[in-house]
Structure 1
Amino acid sequence: MKYTVTITIRLKEGMLNPEARAIQHALKNLGFQTEDLTTARLFRIRLDAPDAAAARETARQMCDRLLANPVIHDYAIEVE
């Protein structure tokens, strides 16, 4: 069966995020005040798996082996 897996990868709490700081600063210069801003990477992957649990496990393995660095990243997986 085909599943669409959405993986969101973000820096763990407390990690420096220079990209987010630059965006926040640019928004401030444009007149938009923000209390906080973070960035994340989003991957949408279509894959074939026997069931949703297997699709989630495949996505977890992708994160652990390539997409995320467990030292600095957290990730969330959604299966549709």
Structure 2
Amino acid sequence: MQRKYRAKILVTLRPSVLDPAGVAVQSGLKQLGYDNVEQVRIGKYIELNVISPDETSARKDLNQMCDQMLANPVIENYKFDLIEVESQTGVY
């Protein structure tokens, strides 16, 4: 039996990496009068469903997806939440 999992993935720049987009957003907010904003960092949020026989396999696949495509492990960190949304029967 296959199971469907929903992954919510957050990709952020490593703290040591300069974030020019974050600097630009912070500057824009200051120009709008929001002087109380500091250290803006921009990231990516990704949601996807994955079909897998179990949670362990789903987590392994997600780690590989993030390392190979969804994040650049040299300059980015990622984390994800995984929840089972339904069990599937049949072939995919």
TM-score in same-fold range (> 0.5): yes
Count of residues paired in the alignment: 80
Map Cα deviations across residues 13-52 of structure 1 (whole Å, 9 max, x no partner): 1101110000000001111121221111011011111222
Q: 1:17 aligns with which of 8, 19, 36?
A: 19
* TM value normalised by structure 2: 0.81
Question: In proportion to residue count, which structure has more strand?
Answer: 2
TM-score, normalization by structure 1: 0.92
- Unpaired runs of 5+ in structure 1? none
Mapped pair 1:79 → 2:82 = yes
Moved over 6 A (4+): none
Larger C-alpha radius of gyration, 1 or 2? 2
* Structure with the higher fraction of residues in helix conformation: 1
Task: Provide the aligned C-alpha RMSD in A.
Answer: 1.0
Gapped regions of structure 2 (runs ≥ 5): 84-92
Q: Percent identity?
A: 35
